[in-house]
Structure 1
Amino acid sequence: MGQPLEKLTPFTITDRKSLRGEIEMVRKRGIGISVGELDENENGISAPIFDQRNNLIAFISV
């Protein structure tokens, strides 16, 4: 089951089923979006960086 997920803001996803759904959505969209999940006053977007063999090697986040 794992340790509980820490709630940092009212928008932090702490339910594992919801988190798995969000991860699947990120995979389909190809980008991740955070709206107040780490800090209520910050939003972010991230994208994966793949090598020539389509292996994930890094990501960029703003």
Structure 2
Amino acid sequence: MKRCQSCGYPIVGEAREVTPHSDSAARSTLYLHKTADECTAAKKQRLASSPLQRALRRS
């Protein structure tokens, strides 16, 4: 499972791959959501399903 380097949430579907430049080739490939909207949607979806957020909405 790939995680977005920007938001830290899993990427469902296509990801944008970023290969950092390194002379020693020691850096791994970074993955990002295709668009900023997908990144924002992943954050909102996680917050909506959070047990803490559900408890706060009930009170």
Tell me the TM-score normalised to structure 2 length: 0.31
Q: Which has more radius of gyration?
A: 2
Greater fraction strand: 1
Greater fraction helix: 2
